Structure 1
Amino acid sequence: MKTTTRSFRATALALAVLGTLAAGQASASGFQLREQSVKNLGKSNAGSIVGKDASNVSLNPAAMTNLDKVTIQSDLTVIDLSASFSGGGSILGSPAPSAALTGGNGGDPGDPTLVPNMAVVFPMHGALEGMTLGASIGAPFGLKTEYEPGWVGRYRALTSDVKVVDLTLSAAFKATDGVSFGAGLVYERADVTLSKAIDFGTAICASGNPANCFNPQYPFKPQQLDGGFEVSGSDTAVGYLVGMQVAPNDKLAIGFSYRSEIKHDLAGNLDFQNVPALLGADPRFQDGPGGAKMVTPSVTTLSISYGITDQLRVLGDYQGTGWSSLQDVTIRRSNGTVVGSEDFSWEDTDFFSVGMEYDLSDAFTLRGGIGWDESPTNDVTRTPRLPDNDRMLYSVGMSWAFSDNLTVDAAYQRIEIDDPTIDLGVHVPSDLSTLHGTFGGYANLFGVSMQYRF
């Protein structure tokens, strides 16, 4: 029994790592987070990699040359997702009769989550004039969602907690007054925890004659012998970042950056709970080590900023995320045995945004933006671990320069998500129930940051 749990847990690991990352708390589509900069948050990321912002350490190292003083920046963003599920499912089906799943709608799976980022930039002088160095710590991907224990989709997902943290070290070189290049090394840590319920009652009765599941005299009944599992895994890996910026005059700036895929081999533990004594010796449900591969996708960004007047700037952004790297996840035990495979069939996505900034004075700047973010998921393989869909972003923000050294930023963003549908069937032996329904949800993001120059 514990071995099966182990396999379930390994599958959970794959889901947790690749699937759950993409649900709920992620503010961008998939499980991407774009909250490296509160200033960018206030303009829906329009012109995200050509500003005077220390976050460019991890977004576009070439744009670090826009800063002429040592700059320390701290950004804090709270992501508050509200979501709800409406639907249901059934146990088994032909050749046995089906029975409706019991349970509620799972409640609101998202809680307010704080996403911190910090960066520091060092312009060089003397013999190294024209070079800029930088370092940052931040979360480019991540998610945490938690459904109520007895919800109708408990056999697909309960808790999903994914944390991806990057340490980025970057360098930039100003080739001419208007052209700069940069590159960075990304050291990434991924930690994943996932849980779900297991319907051992159905698993036992279906292992013989499925009709036993609905025989009043049979001792093992669907949804009356629930257990569970939790899977956790972690890994560190290395990627890279390159970028350039062209600013032919004071009005126009164009930036380009590319962040590589980063491949993780997650090593984790499988932990089954409440395994019935009848299955206690079953090697499928034994606790133990398991693993899965996870890929954080490549990200390509193109930004533009144009000054209509000395006070007013129009901004634009395009971002392509290589989510097609997540086609499926295969879970293996430590001995190499395949436990299962989860189909994602994700596609590459596009993101577009436009925005404006207006300087009210030397001390105050107002900004706003609107964006459209495409989802990598689809109606065939979408699960409650990643109930993602296309979304619109609406943002406002402001900067207050207290002095030549200190600036404080604040921003608010509203995300409206198209209602994603779930349509999952039975896949013996791992999934013995169906789940059908619709999620509805939105997110509110609140951010503050401080930038100090000296």
Structure 2
Amino acid sequence: MKRASIVFIFSLFVCLLTSVTTVQAGGFSLYEWSNKSVGMGTVGYAIALDPSVIATNPALMTDLEGSQAMAGAVFIAPRTDITINGETESLKSNTFMVPHAYFTHQLNDVAWFGIGMFTRFGLGIEYNDDFMAGWEAQKVKLTTTSINPSVAFQLTDELSVGGGVELVLGDFEHEFIRGAGFKIDAEGYAFSGNLGAKYQFTDELSAGLSARLPLSFHGNGNVTGGANGDIDVYADLPASITLGLGFQPTEDWTFEFDVVHTRWDSLKTLDYEGTINSKSKFYYKNTWRLQAGAEYAALDWLDLRAGVVWDQTPIRQEHASVLLPSNDRLMFSTGLGFHGEQWFVDTSFMYIMVRDRYGVNVETSPAGAVANADFTGGTTYVGGVNAGFTF
């Protein structure tokens, strides 16, 4: 059983690594790293839900006994209506897959090791071919894959710490149709890291503190279409810090509340150097995300989950564009967990409502003609499944 579990997870890990895609998000940070977490409002910073603690708070590995392996995916389907000069159309319908895979191992009574693969940044926006502002952006995709080996140490009965090194592999596409008629396609990488701590105040109450470091992305690729040649892409992506409080009053009930702060002001420009030379300025504000989740052990083999999230957008009204029109979001989630002695399966569903954004200035021609655009009816459906083993 042990060898078969390792082979299964490793094979699925490799398959998922080749299939990471993108999704529209608030800003473009993603938090869908585990279906158990999604079902509970993406919590998991103060209580060890499963091996996805590598992505949330590596210090929580000290609560995972033996070895654990898990893999799965979350599927995300966004939609938004855009109205320009009285004409309304919707974003192209797409469903994006965001996979994840993790392995944790207890080395001894003090030290743990783990490795995870997940998606921390992603963006996918595609407009119809006749989109009025298509010369500015017909299609934009940012794909990233984080590979995050981590370690954790149990310093005292109450205090655990952990950290890891993160390799971020990225692919960026920016396609213009009207007017410009060219496409930028670049691949690159960046290094970052994460740190975490967990303190167990009582048997019922715990707190977790987790930080992810900023990263500087450099990609190189080519331009095709109206202009052909090489190009380099540069961007600085933000750090974040999360404080979580966990409460387990009985064996059947689990509650957690988290506050996430993201330092979006580090993303100042998106620089193109080469065949195209340009510097797109961002005026992002730092943001807060509040999330709460609960789980009830209804049966020996069945857990019921629910959660709620408020996610603040970093995009200021005066600087919103067709590249990133998103606004503040409110999310409601639920999920089911099935488990046996050495296996578990988690499912999740989340409904996301995006606040309407009115009066966004968009350029409708290369000559600089400007119109007001309204982005309304923004909703996203999220659902997924993962499976894991303990051995």
Q: Classify the secondary structure of the residue corresponding to 1:79.
A: strand
What is the aligned partner in structure 2 of residue 252 from structure 1?
Answer: 205
1:316, distance to aligned residue in structure 2 (A): 0.2
What is the aligned partner in structure 1 of residue 82 from structure 2?
Answer: 85
What is the aligned partner in structure 1 of residue 302 from structure 2?
Answer: 364
Deviations 1:128-176 (A, max 9, x none): x310000011111112221111111212211112101011000000011
Deviations 1:400-441 (A, max 9, x none): 11x21101111110000001235326699x662213111121
Q: Classify the secondary structure of the residue corresponding to 2:49.
A: coil
Distance 2:85 2:184 in 1: 25
Seen in structure 2, the aligned counterparts of structure 1 residues 448 and 380 have a Cα distance that, compared at 3 Å, is: same
Indicate conservation of the 8 Å contact 1:258/1:298, yes or no: yes
Indicate conservation of the 8 Å contact 1:372/1:390, yes or no: yes
Choose from 366, 369, 372 the match for 1:436: 372
What is the aligned partner in structure 2 of residue 315 from structure 1?
Answer: 256
What is the aligned partner in structure 2 of residue 388 from structure 1?
Answer: 326
1:49, distance to aligned residue in structure 2 (A): 4.6
Q: What are the within-5 Å matches in structure 2 for residues 275-314 of structure 1?
A: 286-314=227-255
Q: Classify the secondary structure of the residue corresponding to 1:320.
A: strand
C-alpha root-mean-square deviation of aligned residues, in Å? Answer: 2.0
Deviations 1:27-49 (A, max 9, x none): 4x111111111111001123445
Distance 1:137 1:67 in 2: 18
1:355, distance to aligned residue in structure 2 (A): 2.1
What is the aligned partner in structure 1 of residue 165 from structure 2?
Answer: 185
Choose from 235, 253, 275 the match for 2:188: 235
Deviations 1:10-55 (A, max 9, x none): xxxxxxxxxxxxxx9234x111111111111001123445223101
1:331, distance to aligned residue in structure 2 (A): 2.4
Q: What are the within-5 Å matches in structure 2 for residues 109-128 of structure 1?
A: 109-125=92-108
What is the aligned partner in structure 2 of residue 35 from structure 1?
Answer: 32
Structure 1 gap ranges (5+): 1-23, 90-103, 200-226, 274-285
What is the aligned partner in structure 2 of residue 73 from structure 1?
Answer: 70
1:161 paired with 2:114, answer: no
State the TM-score, normalized to the length of structure 1: 0.77
Distance 1:425 1:142 in 2: 23
Distance 2:43 2:117 in 1: 22
Seen in structure 2, the aligned counterparts of structure 1 residues 76 and 49 have a Cα distance that, compared at 3 Å, is: farther
Indicate conservation of the 8 Å contact 2:60/2:198, yes or no: yes
Indicate conservation of the 8 Å contact 1:146/1:160, yes or no: yes
Seen in structure 2, the aligned counterparts of structure 1 residues 164 and 34 have a Cα distance that, compared at 3 Å, is: same
1:395, distance to aligned residue in structure 2 (A): 0.7
Distance 1:34 1:252 in 2: 24
1:453 paired with 2:390, answer: yes
Indicate conservation of the 8 Å contact 2:136/2:363, yes or no: no
AA at the equivalent of 1:57: I
What is the aligned partner in structure 2 of residue 265 from structure 1?
Answer: 218
Indicate conservation of the 8 Å contact 1:188/1:236, yes or no: yes
AA at the equivalent of 2:333: S
Distance 2:151 2:234 in 1: 30
Q: Which runs of 4+ in 1 moved over 4 A?
A: 425-428
The alignment covers a number of residue pairs equal to 369
Distance 1:189 1:105 in 2: 36
Choose from 176, 186, 190 the match for 1:196: 176
Give the number of the structure whose alpha-carbon radius of gyration is greater. 1
Between Structure 1 and Structure 2, the one with more strand by share is: 2
Choose from 314, 327, 346 the match for 1:409: 346
AA at the equivalent of 2:343: L
